Structure 1
Amino acid sequence: MKTDYSFEKEPVSSPLSKRMYVFQLLTVFIGFLIFGFSENVKGPAIPRIQLDMGLDELRIGTLLSLNSLGYLLACSFTAYLIRRIGIKAVCLLSFGSMAVSGVFIYLSHSYPSLSASFFFMYIGNGMLEIGLAVLGARIFVRNTGTMMNLSHFFYGLSSTVAPMIASGLMTLHVGGHLLDWRDVYLIILLLAVLPMIPAILGRFPDESGNSEADRVPLKTLSKDPVIWMLVLILSFGVVSELAVGGWLVNFLEKAYGWDGSSAAGMLSAFFLCFTFARLFLGPVTDKVGFTLSLMIFSAVSGILTFAAIAAGEPGAFLFAAAGAGIAPVYPTVMALIARRYRQDSDAAITFIVTLMGVASVIGNYAIGAIISGIRRAVTAVSGAEDGLLRGLQAGYGFIGLCALLCCLSALPLYCYLKKHGELL
C-alpha cells in the first residue's frame, strides 16, 4: 500500500505563528526531557525497591511488565482522545497524571500499591509518548529524521543524568531524613508541571480541517504489510532499549559487585552514548535512508551487548557503547511513519506503539523469568554465586538478542520497500 499524503504545517512567517511554533518545540523538547527522567530513575531505584520490599527478580520483572501494561492501555485510547479533545489537552493531561503519580509512589509502602502507582505513571507516559510523537509528525515535515532524532535527543539527555541524579539524591539528608527512592520519584515526577507552561501558552495543529472521510480507516492500515514490519522492528528495538534502564544497574551490582554510584554511572554512560547518537546520527538517517539505518544501528547494538557479556567485567564499557546503536531506532521508525502515513500519523503511531507495548510487557517479564530460571538451574549444579551470575548474563543476553532481531526484522522491510519503489 503506497500512501502519499500531503500535509502542510502552519506557516511560521508571521511573529505570532513563529511564537506558536516555539511553544510547540518547547513542549516536545521539554516533554521528552521529563519523559527521560521518569523512565530512568528506575535504574538506581529498583535495587533499593527490591531490598526494601524483599522482592526477587521474577517479581521485579512482573512489576516492570505491569508498568508496560499501563503504557499499553494508554496507547490504546490516546489517538481517540487526540481526535476528541486535541493534542494540547492530551499533553496537559499526561503531564498532570505523571505529577500525580509521583505522589502515589511516595505514599506506596506495599508491593500492590507500588505496582498500582507505577501502572498509573505509565498510563501518563504512554499518553505523553503518543501525543509527542503525533505532534512531532505534524510539525516536522522537513528533515524529518533529523528533527525526530533531535527531539528524542532530549529524552537521551535526561536519561543520561537521571541515574546520577537519582543515585545522588538517595545519599542526601534533608532535615535529618535520608532521601529514599520514594522521595526521588516524588521530586522527579513533580517536574512534569514545567512543560505544561508552553503547552498552555501554545496552539497545536490538530488537523481539524481533515474530515473522517479523508482519513484511511484503521482496517485499511492494518492490511499494509509495512505497518506489521514496523511493529516487529519497533517491538524488538524498544524492548532492547528500555530494558537497559531497568536491568543494567541491577546486573552490574549483583554480577560484578559494583556499588550503586558506579553502576548508575555506567547507566549514565549508556545514555550519554545514546544521547549523542541521537544528536549526531539524525542527519545520517536522512542521507543513508531510514530502513538501512535501522538495520545497521540495531546490529551494532546487539553485537556490542554480546561482546560486553563475553568480555566480563573489563568489557562493561561496551554496555554503554551499545547505547549508540539502539538510540536511533525509535525516532527513525517515527520519522518513517511520519513520512509514509502523514495524514493518518495518529492512527498509525497508535497502532504500532500499542502492539509494541504488548511486546514490552512480554519482554520485561521474560527477562525476569530467564534470570530466575537460569539462576535456579545453575545454582543446583554449581552454587548460588555462579547461579546468580549466569542468570543475569542470560537475562541481559536476551536484551542483546532483541537488538539483533530488530536488525533482522528490518531486512524484509528494506526488500519490500525497494521492490515497490517506496524506499525511505
Structure 2
Amino acid sequence: MQMATIFIGFVIFGFSENIKGPAIPRIQFDFRLSEAQLGTLLSLNALGYLIACSFTAYLTKMWGIKWVTIAAFASMAASGILIFYSHYYPLFAASYFFMYIGNGMLEIGLAILSAKIFLKNTGMMMNMTHGFYGLSSTVAPLIATGLMKVTIVGHTLDWRGMYLIMLLLSIIPIVIAWFSTFPGDDILHEDRISLKDLLKDRVLWLVVLVLTFGVVSEMAVGGWLVNFLEKAYNWDTVQASGMLSIFFLCFALARLLLGPITDRIGFVLSLMIFSGFSALCTCIAVVGGERVAFLFAASGIGIAIIYPTVMAFIATRFPKGSDTAITFTVTLMGLGSVIGNYLIGGVIELVKHLAGEDSSTSLLRGLQAGYGFIGLCAALCSITSFILYVYLYRRKEVI
C-alpha cells in the first residue's frame, strides 16, 4: 500500500506537471493573454514550488507524512475543480497557482515518504519511482491532447475538462494512503536532527551543489534543446521535438534500469560517473555538430540518475532528519535552477554580442555557448561529487 502510494503518486505528478503543453495555447486564446501575461502565469510554477518547499517539512513534523501526502493530493484534486469552473482570468490564475502549491507539496512529500520506506536497495527504488514520473511525463502531452477532443453528452471537454479529469486522478492515491500506515511518523520530535545541526554538516552543502548543478543541466534541456536544434541546424519542429522525446525516453529508461548500479558501486561514485557521462555527451554534441546530435539525447542517460540518487543519499545519510534535509536541499536547488536558466540566456546573448550581432555565425556561437553552459553544469556536478567523495573517503563515511 505504501509503495502503491509512491508509484501512483509519481505517475500523477508527471501528468500534472506536463499536461500543460497542449493546453497553454488554448488557455492563452480563451483569456486573450499577452506573452508577458503568459510568462507570468507560467512563473507561478517556480513560485508555488518554492513556497511549498518552505512549509512542507514543517507540516510533516506537525501532522506526519501520511496526512501531508493526503493533503498534497487533495489540493491537486481541488485545484482541478477550481480550474474547471474558472471562467475569469483572476480565478484561473489563483487556481493554477494553487495547483503548483500542491505539486510542490507532492514532490517534497513523495521524496520524504520514499526516504522513510525504501531502507533497502534505496538507490534502485528511488530511481525506479522517479522513472515512473518520467514515463508519465512522456505520455502526458498525448493524453492531454486526446482528452481535449473528447465529447461527452454533446460537450467537448477542452482544456478545462482535461485538467479536471487528470487532477481528479489524485483521489486514487488518497484512498490508498488513507488506509496505509507510514513508518517514520512515530519518531519523536526530540529524536529528529534539527536544521541547525544539519547546517553544520559540510556534506549537506556539498549535496546542495551537486543537486543544483545536476538539476540545472537536467531541466535546461527541456527548455533549450528544441530551440537549439531549430536555430543552429535549421531542423523543423517535428525533428527537434522528436530528439527531445528521445532524450526523455533515455531519461526514463535510465531511471528504471540503472538504479541497481547506484546501490552496487555507491551513491556518490554513481553521481560522479553519470554526471560526467552527461557532460561528455553534451560537450561532444555541441562541438561535433549536427552529425553527433544524437548525443544530446544520450546525455539523458547520465543526468537522469542525479536527482533520485541524491534523494537516496540523503535518506541514508540523515535517516532521522531526511524530511528537513530534503526540504532544505530542494529549496536551495530551486533557487539555483532559476538562476541557472537566467545564466544560460545571458551567456547566449553575451556571446552573440561578442561575435557581432550582424555576423552570420553569431547566433550559432551564442547557442553553442549557451548549451555548452548546460554541459558545464553537468561537469560541475561531477566535480562537486568528486569533492564530496574525497571528503567522505577521508572520514571513512562513503555511502
Which TM-score tier does this pair reach, normalised by the shorter chain?
Answer: 0.7 to 0.9
Aligned partner of 2:111 among 133, 157, 165: 133
Aligned partner of 2:179 among 189, 198, 201: 201
- Deviation of 1:259 (Å): 5.1
Describe the superposition over 1:257-299 as per-residue Cα deviations: whole angstroms up to 9, x where unpaired.
Answer: 5555544433322121111111221111111111111011011
1:82 paired to 2:57: no
Alignment correspondent of 1:214: 191
Alignment correspondent of 1:398: 373
Alignment correspondent of 2:271: 294
- Deviation of 1:87 (Å): 1.5
1:356 paired to 2:333: yes
How many angstroms apart in 2 are the aligned matches of 1:356 and 1:179? 37
How many angstroms apart in 1 are the aligned matches of 2:87 and 2:357? 36
Residues 185 and 247 (structure 1), Cα distance of their counterparts in 2 relative to 1, 3 Å cut = farther
Alignment correspondent of 2:318: 341
Alignment correspondent of 2:72: 94
- Deviation of 1:249 (Å): 3.9
Letter in 2 for 1:129: E
Give percent identity, aligned residues only: 61
Superposition CA RMSD, Å: 3.4
How many angstroms apart in 2 are the aligned matches of 1:44 and 1:362? 27
Task: State which drifts further: 217-226 or 157-166.
Answer: 157-166
Alignment correspondent of 1:55: 35
Q: TM-score, normalised by structure 2?
A: 0.85
Residues 99 and 207 (structure 1), Cα distance of their counterparts in 2 relative to 1, 3 Å cut = closer
Describe the superposition over 1:377-418 as per-residue Cα deviations: whole angstroms up to 9, x where unpaired.
Answer: 7683237xx666555444433322221111111111000000
1:412 paired to 2:390: no
Question: Residue 29 of structure 1 contacts residue 154 of structure 1 at CA under 8 Å; is this kept in 2?
Answer: yes
Question: Residue 239 of structure 1 contacts residue 364 of structure 1 at CA under 8 Å; is this kept in 2?
Answer: yes
Residues 322 and 177 (structure 1), Cα distance of their counterparts in 2 relative to 1, 3 Å cut = farther
How many angstroms apart in 1 are the aligned matches of 2:157 and 2:367? 29
How many angstroms apart in 1 are the aligned matches of 2:352 and 2:38? 14
Matching of residues 265-284 of structure 1 within 5 Å: 265-284=242-261
Residues 189 and 304 (structure 1), Cα distance of their counterparts in 2 relative to 1, 3 Å cut = farther
How many angstroms apart in 1 are the aligned matches of 2:356 and 2:397? 52
1:159 paired to 2:137: yes
Question: Residue 65 of structure 2 contacts residue 185 of structure 2 at CA under 8 Å; is this kept in 1?
Answer: no
- Deviation of 1:309 (Å): 2.9
Describe the superposition over 1:11-70 as per-residue Cα deviations: whole angstroms up to 9, x where unpaired.
Answer: xxxxxxxxxxxx1101100111122222334566678888984537x985x765542232
User: Can you give the 5+ residue segments of structure 2 that lack an aligned partner in the other structure?
Assistant: none
Alignment correspondent of 1:14: none
Question: Residue 64 of structure 2 contacts residue 185 of structure 2 at CA under 8 Å; is this kept in 1?
Answer: no
Question: Residue 137 of structure 1 contacts residue 338 of structure 1 at CA under 8 Å; is this kept in 2?
Answer: yes
Task: State which drifts further: 303-312 or 397-406.
Answer: 303-312
How many angstroms apart in 2 are the aligned matches of 1:246 and 1:38? 18
Question: Residue 134 of structure 2 contacts residue 251 of structure 2 at CA under 8 Å; is this kept in 1?
Answer: yes
Letter in 1 for 2:208: V
How many angstroms apart in 1 are the aligned matches of 2:373 and 2:330? 21
User: Can you give the 5+ residue segments of structure 1 that lack an aligned partner in the other structure?
Assistant: 1-22
Letter in 2 for 1:407: S
Q: Secondary structure at the match of 2:261?
A: helix
How many angstroms apart in 2 are the aligned matches of 1:396 and 1:59? 25
How many angstroms apart in 2 are the aligned matches of 1:120 and 1:377? 43
Q: TM-score, normalised by structure 1?
A: 0.80
Instruction: Report how many aligned residue pairs link the two structures.
Output: 395
- Deviation of 1:374 (Å): 5.6
Alignment correspondent of 1:4: none
How many angstroms apart in 1 are the aligned matches of 2:223 and 2:26? 12
Q: Secondary structure at the match of 1:202?
A: coil
- Deviation of 1:247 (Å): 3.5
How many angstroms apart in 2 are the aligned matches of 1:298 and 1:114? 39
